[in-house]
Amino acid sequence: MIQPVPTRSESRFYEQRIHTYANANLHGPLPNDGGDHFYSGKTPEAADVLLLIEVSDSSLAFDQGVKLNLYARYGVAEYWVVDVEGRRVVTYREPATKAYGRTLEFTAADTVTPQAFPDIKIAVGEIFGRSP
């Protein structure tokens, strides 16, 4: 089961856990363990990002404006905005110079699948937990 969207005070903790999980599963040893690390000799680039997710509880306009255009311009393959207030997930795919070519919106009754991980199905309703 997916954990509900964290409050603003909890979100930093979840960001760290997701980052740690990604490092452990995609790039070998965790930071500070003395091992070699994938990004120790290079800066991550858009091609390294399989899925970028923003959880928007107070920054929706910025996430769907400035950030959206920036991520598209640099070629981030897939960008999701979790709209906490609207209780929806908006996905953006097919990046181009100034925008994404494909936008899809998912609500609580829907299931969303990252294009880089087609076997993963996420029930949008589980992201938000129980209705307010």
For the stretch 66-120, pLDDT in tens is 999 999 998 999 999 999 999 999 999 999 988 999 999 999 999 999 999 999 9
Torsion angle defined by CA atoms of residues 50, 55, 61 and 62, in that order, rounded to the nearest 10 degrees: -60
Closest CA to 50 of 80, 14, 17: 80
- Asked if 54 and 80 count as a contact pair (C-beta separation under 8 A), the reply is yes
pTM: 0.71
Amino acid at 80: W
For domain 8-27+47-128, which CATH number applies: 3.90.1570.10, 3.30.70.141, 3.50.50.60, 2.60.40.10?
3.90.1570.10
Task: Return the domain boundaries, the chain.
Answer: 8-27+47-128
Reported confidence tier of residue 129, pLDDT bands at 50, 70, 90:
confident
For the stretch 7-62, pLDDT in tens is 444 444 444 444 434 444 444 444 454 555 566 677 778 888 889 999 998 999 99
Give strand ranges (E) for the chain: 52-56, 78-83, 88-95, 100-106, 111-112, 122-123
pLDDT value at position 84? 93
Give strand ranges (E) for 32-96: 52-56, 78-83, 88-95
Task: Give the number of other CB atoms < 10 A from CB of residue 89.
Answer: 22
